[in-house]
Amino acid sequence: MNARIFLHRHRGILLVGLVFALIYMGNGSYSPYIQLYYKEAGLSTSQIGLITAIGPFASLVFQTAWGRLADRTNRKFVLLLTLVLSAACTLLYLLGASFGYILFVAVLYVFFNMSVLPMADAMALEFCTKNRYRFSPIRLCGTVGYALIPILLGTLFSLDLRRIFYAYVIFTCAAAAATLFFPRSDEQRMRAAQKNAGEKKPLSLRPLLRDPMVLFLLIANFVISVGICAYTYLPLYASELGYDNNACGLLNAFSALSEIPTLLLIDRVMKKIRGTTIIVASAFFCALRLFLTYVSGFFGAGAFAMLTVAQLLQSVSYMTNYYCSANLIHERFPPELKSTAQTLLAMITAGFSRIFGSLVGGYLSESSVLGLQNTFLFFALFLLAGSFVVLLAYRRAERPAANNRAGM
C-alpha cells in the first residue's frame, strides 16, 4: 500500500527519470563505440574527424528551428519526433559502409538527435520548477543509464559493433514511448490558450544575447566543449595503446559513474558557491583532464590506470559545467524561450565547438608531426588558454551584478 501511495505521489518525477535513463542508455550504446565502428569500416582518422564535424555543421542551419518549434507548439511532440527519427537514422548505417554513405547518415542522425537532450532538459527543468523537485536526481538517472551500457553490453558490442545500432533503437524507441506519458506543462497550456485567443507574442533572443552573463555562458561552453570533443578520439587513442573495444567502453563507463557523487552534491554546493564560479573551475579541470590523458601514453602498462583517473575528472569538468549552465539558462530566460535557449546552448556545445574540435583533432591526430597522443596535449594547452578567457568573461559578467549590489 505504501509503495502504491509513493508511486502515485511521485509518478511524474519517476516517469521523467525513466525518460532520461532510456535516452542516455541509447547514447551509451552509440557514443562510446561509433568511432570504433567508423574505424572498422575502414575510415581514416581524418575522415572520422570530418564526419564528426560536418554533422553538427549541417544541423546548425536548422538547429534553432527545433527549439522555436517546441516553444511555439508542443515540446513533448517535438521530443517524440526527434527520438523516433534519430532511431530510424541509426538503422541506415547497416545499409552501407562507404565514406560518402556514412557521412550522409551521420549528418542525418545529428540533424535530428542534436535537439533531443536540450529539449529533454528544458522539459525536465520546467517540471522540476513547477513541482519543486531538484533536477539532479533526474539527471542522475541519465548518468546511471549511460554507465550501465558499457558494463552490461560492452562485451556483446565488442563481438559485433553493428549491435550498437540495434541497442540504440530499442532504448530510444522505449524513451519515445515513455515520453507519450510526460505531463503537459502549464506554459504549454498557456501558449495553447493564447493561440486559441488569437494572441501573439514576439519571441526574440537579441536582448538576452546582449546580457554579459549569457555571453559568459556561451563562451565558457564553447571552450569546455572543445575539450570534451577531444574525447571523440579517446577510443582510437586507447586502441593505439593496445586496449580492446571492451576496455574503451569501460573508460566511458568510469567517466559516467564519476558524475554520480557530483549530481548528489551539486545542489548543496551551488547554495554556497555561485554556479558561474563553478563553471570557471570546470574549464581549468577540463585542461587538467586532457593533460592527464596525454601523459598516460608514457605510463606503459599503467596507461589504463592513468586514463581512468583522467576519465574520473569528467565529474568536475563536464558535469559541473553542464548542470550549472542548464540551470542558469533556465533561470535567465522566460518560459516562451526556454527550449530555444537550451537549443542555442546545444548549438555551442554540440555544434560550433564540435566542428572546431573535430576538424582540428582529425587533422592533428593523423599528421606525422603530432599524432593522437600529442593531439591531447594541444587540446590541453588550448583549454588552459581558453580557461583564462572564460575567467575574463566571468569577471565582466559579474561586474554589473556587483554594481547593483553596491547601489543597494
Kindly give the interhelix angle for 275-295 and 303-312, rounded to the nearest 10 degrees: 170
The answer to whether residues 229 and 361 touch, using CB atoms and an 8 Å cutoff, is yes
List the chain domain ranges. Answer: 10-194+202-407
Q: Which of 115, 123, 121 is nearest to 182 (CA)?
A: 123
Amino acid found at 378: F
Residues of the chain with pLDDT under 50: 1, 194, 197-200, 202, 405-408
How far apart are the C-alpha atoms of 180 and 80, rounded to whole Å?
7
Residues 6+ apart with CB under 8 A from 52: 106, 229, 232, 354, 358, 362
Q: What is the pLDDT of residue 134?
A: 87
How far apart are the C-alpha atoms of 176 and 112, rounded to whole Å?
14
Residues 6+ apart with CB under 8 A from 146: 24, 25, 27, 28, 252, 256
Q: What is the pLDDT of residue 4?
A: 63
Per-residue model confidence as pLDDT tens digits over 187-238: 555 555 545 544 445 455 566 677 788 889 999 999 999 998 888 889 889 9
How far apart are the C-alpha atoms of 401 and 113, rounded to whole Å?
36
SS3 of residue 243 by DSSP:
coil
Cell numbers of 158, please?
Answer: 565488442
Q: Could you tell me the pTM of the whole model?
A: 0.79
Longest CA pairwise span in the chain (Å)? 69
Q: What is the pLDDT of residue 164?
A: 94
- The 10 Å Cβ neighbour count of residue 329 is 25
Please tell me what DSSP assigns to residue 368: S
Cell numbers of 299, please?
Answer: 605510463
CATH number given to 10-194+202-407: 1.20.1250.20
Amino acid found at 359: L
The answer to whether residues 291 and 309 touch, using CB atoms and an 8 Å cutoff, is no
